[in-house]
Structure 1
Amino acid sequence: MPAPLPMKDGVGPTRLRVPAEGPWPTVAAFVTERFSHVSADELRRRFRDGEVVAYDGTSLDADTPLGRHEFLWYYRELPDEQPIPYREDILYIDDDLVVIDKPHFLPTTPGGRYLRESALVRLRVRLENPEIAPIHRLDRPTAGLVLFSARRASRGAYQSLFERRTVAKVYEAVSARPADWDPAEPRLAGQRLAGQRFPLIYRNHIFRDPTAAQRNDPRVGVDPDRPPNAETAIELAGAGRSASGRAVLHTVLRPHTGRMHQLRVHLAALGVPILGDRRYPDLLPEEADDPALPLQLLARSLAFPDPLSGQAREFTSRRTLSEAPSTLQP
């Protein structure tokens, strides 16, 4: 469904479904309850100033009855949005594709308390191109490569690469070294893999729990009784001590599937959760970003056959993980 409002400063309008019936006499009454964190006066002002529109672009006023429109559009605003002091690097750009090297803490797309401080909006403004859209995403704490489409006409061709799993993805992660680590016999003693040596394949079934949002839990679930739908190849890159003095394990991860939080879930299940991870294996209280210990997960490289030219493409991140071993041990 095309948006009836244009892009504004790199930010597109947000679409909201309006219930056909309910206890609200008007659309404005529903919106006021739906967005209780915004003052009622501010919401009434937006209706009064024509900032809330229907599918055909006509403005909705505060008296528009519920049930007349299935959707409305508006511009999301975050007047108190704090700047993120970390910058994305553009590694490659042509008429169809933009490849960036994303820093830790920068969201790929707007969400939550981040709107303009997202890679997507920054790129649209920086390149003066409102058609830019992500082809895939990285979690906000994860650093590394992200591909963006620069042109709507060719976007589907690049998105199909991920749908067909023809993109070779390589990640790196750093975990705390297990207390029982034996450099002569490098093994992981996680679930179902006790004593298995590197390299190894880990599989399980990851699912989105529909009750998680109600419990304010942003994690995915794992069902040991269902067939695996997530698979990761794990290699040992090294073990030793980081520059900060931590005893660490450095792994290379090749996901064969792309489930939400897959790599974080798999390493946690193997007894080596990623350093800086505040969700797996345990959900920790939310805190301010810690630049001294960002999530030690990096999207290192992406390789694929270009769907337009047939040319083999490969991109590599220039970033490093701060806790990777600086002193290696056998």
Structure 2
Amino acid sequence: MRRKNSRNKIPLPPRDGLGASRVRLSEGEPVSAFAVLSRVIAEQRHKHPEDDEQAVLERFASGEVVLRDGSPLAPDTPITPGTDVFFYRRPAPETPVPFTIDTIYEDDSLLVVSKPPFLATMPRAAHITESATVRLRRATGNEELTPAHRLDRMTSGLLLFTKRASLRGAYQELFARRQVRKRYEAIAEYRGISAPARWEHHISKRHGEVAAAIIADAAPNALTNLLEVSLIDAPEMQKTHHTQQPIARYLLEPVTGRTHQLRVQMNAAGAPILGDPIYPAVSPFGEEDFTVPMRLASVYLGFPDPISGELREFSGPGFSAGCVSI
């Protein structure tokens, strides 16, 4: 049995910030719709403790289990392999992320925000309601609000959303085609690294593994320009991250967008980002401290607007805002 995401039109509209889920019986004999849904929910890794068989039956009674054409299913309706069934998931309780999402820019089409650390971009795995997308949809009442790109959960900074479904593809395509210029600020111990410089590595991340790795002697697939390195006076950050070493602001411009690219490359350069829970060592899951964020922030986005053609530029504060360069 496979749970799938689809870009096709979904027969159940988003509700309370969340889109409907889809499940498909992949093989075997036909089974009842109740059996299909009960099994999927029971196998969820992050399951609401009250999402039991009675809660599954209530979905059917409310007409919230449907086929692709929107036809509601009864619990005993036979489901054949290859049939898509849609329903609303029930998120498990989550620890609230104690930070706000700040608006940087808004017009009739776009919303640009500064995402805090610890908040996922999109609902995923254990982080469903504590995601920027769900929070903003609930705050604005706009269920069509969709990010045009993603930031790692631990990465802060500029995140661009489209406000209407009709605009979604045009802006997402900009990011997919690497037509958006991005800059990030990373805070790490000062290691005498010279700038400007160009970092080229082959980064690989296997499914199911937390950390990505650099593959030696392989063709580069991850390119980043290191634009500036400047020492900063930030004693509170040094105290938070338990270091007495001088710390610096690294201004990075990724050319490609591999998973964890900047984090991996900063670690490879001998200057792992302060607060990074994966590089150089993976922290145990669930042992997060909201007072110790990862110091990586998206601070600039620039692109030719796909609708108007004009140059759009957005800047946001990084972690060094207010720090003194030395």
Verify same fold: TM over 0.5: yes
Q: Is the 8 A contact 1:201 1:233 kept in 2?
A: yes
Q: Give the superposition deviation at 1:5.
A: 0.8
- Who is 1:300 aligned against? 299
SS in 2 for 1:160: helix
Find the aligned partners of 2:154 and 2:277 in 1 and give their Cα distance: 10
> Aligned ranges for residues 277-296 of structure 1 at < 5 Å?
277-296=276-295
> Aligned ranges for residues 198-277 of structure 1 at < 5 Å?
198-210=195-207, 213=208, 217-244=209-236, 245=238, 246=243, 247=245, 248-277=247-276
Supply the AA of the counterpart residue of 2:231. Answer: A
The change in CA–CA distance for 1:56 and 1:296 in structure 2 (over 3 A counts) is: same
Find the aligned partners of 1:275 and 1:232 in 2 and give their Cα distance: 19
**Does residue 77 of structure 1 match 2:90?**
yes
Q: Is the 8 A contact 2:24 2:81 kept in 1?
A: no
Find the aligned partners of 1:308 and 1:48 in 2 and give their Cα distance: 44
136, 139, 142: which is aligned to 2:152? 139
- Who is 1:29 aligned against? 35
**Does residue 42 of structure 1 match 2:55?**
yes
**Does residue 15 of structure 1 match 2:15?**
no
* Structure 2: gaps of 5 or more residues: 1-7
- Who is 1:90 aligned against? 103
Q: Give the superposition deviation at 1:104.
A: 1.4
Find the aligned partners of 1:205 and 1:26 in 2 and give their Cα distance: 47
**Paired residue total:** 305
Supply the AA of the counterpart residue of 1:200. Answer: A
Find the aligned partners of 2:62 and 2:163 in 1 and give their Cα distance: 33
**Does residue 166 of structure 1 match 2:162?**
no
Q: Give the superposition deviation at 1:317.
A: 0.8
Q: Give the superposition deviation at 1:276.
A: 0.9
Q: Give the superposition deviation at 1:204.
A: 1.4
The change in CA–CA distance for 1:35 and 1:21 in structure 2 (over 3 A counts) is: same
Cα shift readout 1:219-269 (whole Å, capped 9, x = no counterpart): 334322431111011134322552224422320110001111111111111
Supply the AA of the counterpart residue of 1:89. Answer: D
- Who is 1:321 aligned against? 319
Find the aligned partners of 2:27 and 2:114 in 1 and give their Cα distance: 44
Q: Give the superposition deviation at 1:170.
A: 0.5
Cα shift readout 1:265-293 (whole Å, capped 9, x = no counterpart): 11111111111111123222123432322
The change in CA–CA distance for 1:283 and 1:79 in structure 2 (over 3 A counts) is: closer
* Structure 1: gaps of 5 or more residues: 188-196
**Does residue 126 of structure 1 match 2:139?**
yes
Q: Is the 8 A contact 1:167 1:302 kept in 2?
A: yes
The change in CA–CA distance for 1:125 and 1:220 in structure 2 (over 3 A counts) is: same
Supply the AA of the counterpart residue of 2:252. Answer: L
Report % sequence identity.
Answer: 38
The change in CA–CA distance for 1:89 and 1:43 in structure 2 (over 3 A counts) is: same
